[in-house]
């Protein structure tokens, strides 16, 4: 009979382990934005992106120089991003959001936010 108790215990441990792994993978997927803009070669790449309202965009500085992501209307600002740093912003409302790098004003980008579908 001791073998039965060990088998049940192992099944319980495996079930908990699989549940924990599934939760971790789900949370990682939720935390990873699907939309990424790279700051590379002194440009925003892509320079124009279309998303749905409520989605997050991550900006990643892939340059050797610092950059910012600053809204033209000053509604958001990343502050300085050193090489390799990231910053993200959730675009909650539909509209067109233009932005630039405050350190290199010729760097410009645009996020177009659609109303999106509601369940």
Report the distance separating Cα 64 and Cα 6, nearest Å: 57
Which pLDDT belongs to residue 3? 55
HSE at residue 41, side-chain half, CA atoms within 13 A, is: 3
Stated pTM of the model: 0.71
Which pLDDT belongs to residue 88? 96
Report the distance separating Cα 10 and Cα 85, nearest Å: 43
Which pLDDT belongs to residue 11? 54
* DSSP state letters, the chain: -HHHHHHHHHHHHHHHHHHHHHHHHHHHHHHS-SEEEEEETTEEESSEEEEETTEEEEEEE-SSS-B--EETTSS-B---B-TT-EEEEEE-S-EEEEEE-SSSTT-EEEEEEE-----
Q: In 3D, which of 90, 87, 1 has the Cα closest to residue 44?
A: 87
Which pLDDT belongs to residue 9? 55
Which pLDDT belongs to residue 102? 97
Over its length of 119 residues, how does the chain's per-residue pLDDT go in tens digits? 555 555 555 554 544 444 444 444 444 444 445 799 999 999 999 999 999 999 999 999 999 999 999 999 999 999 999 999 999 999 999 999 999 999 999 999 999 999 976 55
Any idea which fold 35-114 has? Immunoglobulin-like (2.60.40)
Within 10 angstroms of residue 89's Cβ, the number of other Cβ atoms is 20
Strands 95-100 and 86-91, sheet pairing:
unpaired
Q: Where are the domains of the chain?
A: 1-32, 35-114
Tokens of 21: 């792994």
Count of positions (residues) in the chain? 119
């Amino acid at each position: 009979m001791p073998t039965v108790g060990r088998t049940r215990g192992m099944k319980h441990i495996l079930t908990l382990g699989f549940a924990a792994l599934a939760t971790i993978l789900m949370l990682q997927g939720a935390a990873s934005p699907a939309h990424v803009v790279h700051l590379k070669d002194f440009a925003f790449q892509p320079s124009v992106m279309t998303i749905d309202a409520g989605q997050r965009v991550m900006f990643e500085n892939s340059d050797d120089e610092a950059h910012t992501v600053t809204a033209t209307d000053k509604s958001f600002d990343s502050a300085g991003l050193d090489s390799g740093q990231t910053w993200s912003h959730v675009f909650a409302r539909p509209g067109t959001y233009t932005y630039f790098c405050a350190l290199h004003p010729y760097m410009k980008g645009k996020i177009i936010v659609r109303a999106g579908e509601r369940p």
